[in-house]
Every structure is written in structure tokens, then in C-alpha cells.
Amino acid sequence: MKIREATLSDLEVINSFDIFAGERSAEVERGECFVAVEEQQVVGYIVYNHSFYLMPFIQFLCVNLKFRRRGFATELLEYIESICDGDKLFTSTECDNLPMLKLLNRRGYRISGLIENIQEQAEVVFCKEVEC
């Protein structure tokens, strides 16, 4: 598996499995989107930026349903942790997203807070201290 910066030519594949509203072209153009590639196929992506109070933040993480539970999400997180330009890295997920909650717990992320009224379910904010 290889992780690389996404290109506009990756958008069609990303859009085919992306579970989040919208599409990722703006993030790709800003160099914020990275893809996991397995056997020349994009199997997942992660968006990393400073959109959360100007802090390092993982905004989106999505793996194609066909490729889940194979470690791609873990590798995408590890990659961002390795390039993070701060001593803390934030992310969030809905309180009922059990696979993501378990993944974040395994990777050492700790709950920083809860935000109500953004979506149907409360959004749980996580933070991990990372080495620069």
C-alpha cells in the first residue's frame, strides 16, 4: 500500500465511495487530501488541514467499503500523524460511529469534548499529542 497526495484525476474514484456530503476537489487543489493506493487503485482518502481553530485537523477519513478492515484507515492516520506540523492533532466523529471511535482509541486519541446540534448525533472531538 502507498499513500500519496491526491490529484484531480482521483476524484472520480473518491466520489464513488465517499460517504460525506460534497466532493473533495477544493481539498485536492489545496494539497490537503491524501489517498491510500493498493494495486494501483485508490481505496481510501484522508483530508488534513488547519480548519479547526487553526489547529492540525483530520477533517475527513473514508475507506471504500470493499476495502475496510484491512488497515488502510490506520495507515492513513499514521501517515498524517507523521507529517503533522503541530504537537497536537485533532479530529472528530459522530458519537455512534463505533468503528472510528475504536480506531481513534487504539491510536491513542483522547476525547476533548462533545459538540451537540451539528448533526443528528453528537460530534465527539478527539486530540492526540504527536511528535513534531
Amino acid at 92: S
pLDDT of residue 94: 96
Q: Which stretches in the chain have pLDDT values below 70?
A: 132
End-to-end CA distance of the chain: 24
d(CA 131, CA 96): 29
Whole-angstrom distance, CA of residue 104 vs CA of residue 33: 19
What pLDDT is recorded for position 132?
A: 55
DSSP state of 122: P
Q: To which H or E segment does residue 94 belong?
A: strand 88-94
Ordered structural domains, the chain, with CATH:
2-129 (3.40.630.30)
Interhelix angle 98-106/72-83, rounded to 10 degrees, is: 50
Q: Is this structure's pTM higher than 0.85?
A: yes
- Spell out the residues 6+ positions from residue 32 whose beta carbon is closer than 8 angstroms to its own: 47, 48, 49, 59
Q: How far apart are CA 11 and CA 41, in angstroms?
A: 12
How far apart, in whole angstroms, are the C-alpha atoms of residue 127 and residue 104? 9
Q: C-alpha grid cell for residue 81? A: 500523524
